[in-house]
Structure 1
Amino acid sequence: MYINSTGYYIPEERVDNNHFLNVNGLTGEWIEQRTGIRTRSKAGEHENSNTMGIAAIRNAVPGLPYPIEEVDLIVSACYSPYDTVATLAHVAQKEFNIEEAKALYVSSACSSFTNGLEVVEGYFAAGKATKALVICSEHNTYYSNESDPKCGHLWGDAAVAVFISKEPQREGESEILEVVTRGLATLGKGPEGVRLRPKEDGIAMPEGRDVFLHACKYLVDALERITRNRNMTISDLDYIICHQANKRIVANVAHQLRFPDERFLNNIEELGNTGSASAMLVLAQHIHELKKGTMVGLTVFGGGYSSGGFLVRI
């Protein structure tokens, strides 16, 4: 699969760590030490996951080598939608008049974007689509409870959009070489590790330590799987992008792999945990800076539990 164009949207507002001292009793120093987060992005009063997703698509359209109307598959992949019936995929179809496209919604916690890629891969393999748009827009602050000392200080908002084709559309396009996903609900606390129940307590992470331990293991596992499937090893990767949940998790992965920090691309310090958008968002922010032939491994872990990864050759 080939990446035809990428775009993203990050809200302007930043919430500093010091904001939480009077909200959940945590000092800015404690938050940064435990998470690596200094600020987090926050959607404005009149923004939501749909508006951010549409803005990300608009950011990608100028780089698209074909009319957007040629897209025949639209996948909205996230866990914090504005509407679960009229999904972002349907809103995008209407907004850009993409009449012939299939439109659907996929959710698997913070693995959602990667699962969306695998859905596209399946449609391409079945011959039912040739050009796809995957949109991931997470409005975490809409659902989060800032007063929760376990996770209320983690969340940021952002959206990323990626146009993908079965065949290359022009010379020099980046290629998605491998996609893997995996349900892990039988491990540890499973579905109780992280949850989102809007009418109860919003986004909650009652089992943070369990999440941490399994994330550290299965982020590496996904990297091993995507490289092994291509007869590579993790050491062949030029860069790694982890799901931006916690900088300590990234540091643990780096320690396990004996990779230097400069081979990890991150944005968590400024944006916080932007959910399933986070890994692809980091790549979209850097993709035009990377040299031709660069191999990037992206790995994710989500509540539920779930994991996944994908391999990109620039």
Structure 2
Amino acid sequence: MVTLRSVIIGAGCYLPERVVTNADLAKMVDTSDEWIVQRTGIRERHIAADGEVTSDLGIKAAQAALANAGVDAQSIDLIVVATSTPDNTFPASAVTVQAGLGITGGAAFDLQAVCSGFVFGLATVDGMLRTGMFKRALLIGAETFSRILDWNDRTTCVLFGDGAGAVVIEAQEQPGTMNDRGILTNHLRSDGRHKNKLYVDGGPSSTQTVGHLRMEGKEVFKHAVSMITDVIKDAFKATGYTARDLDWFVPHQANRRIIDGSVMKLGLDPAKVIITVDKHGNTSAASIPLALCVGIADGRIKKGDLVMFEAMGGGFTWGASLVRM
């Protein structure tokens, strides 16, 4: 039975030029390279230049993804930007990206699910493509988290970086089996009771200011592994696949210890995990497409590979998507 699947046909990424190492941060706050690496696995991160905004990063990642897919920008009829750091309260950064790419048709909007934004975006785009509403989409994860950090708080400022990753997703007819190329299943969760464990203390409706990121690190860590493995198990149950069937695991790059804990609990092969947190830090909604882009560029992730994406973010939000590339 032929069915429409949402197939990833290209990926691209962009990182700001400025690199901030752990040694650089040790000159700003009471920390050290050893302390940061031991607790997070992060060694460096990229920081946007003055005047470089989220849509700038998103446009460059989108251009790279379009080139990788070999398609023209005018063939895109849907743009979704997953971000928690938009250029403005409104309009959506997605319409700025749309204009920057010279696209005047179709629809563009932002999606906010913090670090889970890319996975939530995959599910959203997948639903719209499979219904026939759109034919070819750009899904972009783009963040400038450096703009919402308290650079005097050593527990949070060492964790995050800026960047953008993008994928081109196209509706294609497939045979209608679990061996199809495309997005096979999506599983999303939210639980607002945990809001105060990870949030930004500001907003247009409450304080009319941007505010800073605030996090209860131990509480986030405590919940992360169980929540992540929960949705991954649901994805396996929905498709009949197991951890042994995966070619690659591309997790949200928040913390190396969270990734390692999830891999161990699920019985995944550590050699099949794409890790970029050491070079990028936590880039929130951009982290998964950045890691995917790296895995494709260096030849590890290939057409036909079975790939699991997962993420957890403030809210709490969390989710997983199983995709055959």
Alignment TM-score, normalising by the size of structure 2? 0.89
Tell me whether 1:112 sits opposite 2:98 in the alignment: no
Give, in whole Å, the separation in 1 of the partners of 2:57 and 2:127. 27
Give, in whole Å, the separation in 1 of the partners of 2:247 and 2:131. 32
Q: Paired residue for 2:213, among 203, 224, 230? A: 203
Matches within 5 A, 1:211-230: 211-230=220-239
Counterpart contact for 1:2–1:166, Cα < 8 Å: yes
Counterpart contact for 2:148–2:210, Cα < 8 Å: no
Q: Which amino acid aligns with 1:196?
A: V
Residue of structure 2 equivalent to 1:194: 198
Give, in whole Å, the separation in 2 of the partners of 1:84 and 1:72. 24
Tell me whether 1:306 sits opposite 2:317 in the alignment: yes
Query: Structure 1 residue 259: deviation in Å?
Result: 3.0
Residue of structure 2 equivalent to 1:235: 244
Counterpart contact for 2:79–2:108, Cα < 8 Å: yes
Residue of structure 2 equivalent to 1:103: 108
Q: Which amino acid aligns with 1:21?
A: A
Secondary structure at 2:122's aligned position in 1? helix
How much identity, in percent, do the aligned residues show?
31
Give, in whole Å, the separation in 1 of the partners of 2:72 and 2:279. 34
Matches within 5 A, 1:6-155: 6-155=11-160
Q: Is the deviation greater in 262-271 or in 192-201?
A: 192-201
Name the count of aligned residue pairs. Answer: 307
Give, in whole Å, the separation in 2 of the partners of 1:243 and 1:62. 25
Give, in whole Å, the separation in 2 of the partners of 1:90 and 1:263. 36
Give, in whole Å, the separation in 2 of the partners of 1:55 and 1:268. 21
Query: Structure 1 residue 23: deviation in Å?
Result: 2.7
Residue of structure 2 equivalent to 1:250: 259
Tell me whether 1:176 sits opposite 2:183 in the alignment: yes
Query: Structure 1 residue 252: deviation in Å?
Result: 0.9
Counterpart contact for 1:132–1:163, Cα < 8 Å: yes
Give, in whole Å, the separation in 2 of the partners of 1:168 and 1:63. 21
- Gap runs ≥5 in structure 2: 1-5, 175-179, 203-208
Counterpart contact for 2:275–2:291, Cα < 8 Å: yes
Q: Which amino acid aligns with 2:311?
A: V
Q: Deviations over 1:34-85 (max 9, x none)?
A: 0001111111223111111111111122233443212221111111112231
Give, in whole Å, the separation in 2 of the partners of 1:313 and 1:99. 31
Counterpart contact for 2:76–2:138, Cα < 8 Å: yes
Q: Which amino acid aligns with 2:118?
A: F
Q: Deviations over 1:195-226 (max 9, x none)?
A: 12353741121x21111111111111121122
- Provide the alpha-carbon RMSD of the alignment: 1.9
Give, in whole Å, the separation in 2 of the partners of 1:264 and 1:69. 35
Q: Which amino acid aligns with 1:157?
A: D
Counterpart contact for 1:224–1:234, Cα < 8 Å: no
Give, in whole Å, the separation in 2 of the partners of 1:76 and 1:100. 16
Query: Structure 1 residue 270: deviation in Å?
Result: 1.0
Give, in whole Å, the separation in 2 of the partners of 1:226 and 1:59. 30
Counterpart contact for 2:243–2:267, Cα < 8 Å: no
Residue of structure 2 equivalent to 1:294: 305
Query: Structure 1 residue 229: deviation in Å?
Result: 1.1
Give, in whole Å, the separation in 1 of the partners of 2:72 and 2:237. 36
Counterpart contact for 1:93–1:101, Cα < 8 Å: no
- Gap runs ≥5 in structure 1: none
Counterpart contact for 1:219–1:242, Cα < 8 Å: no
Alignment TM-score, normalising by the size of structure 1? 0.92
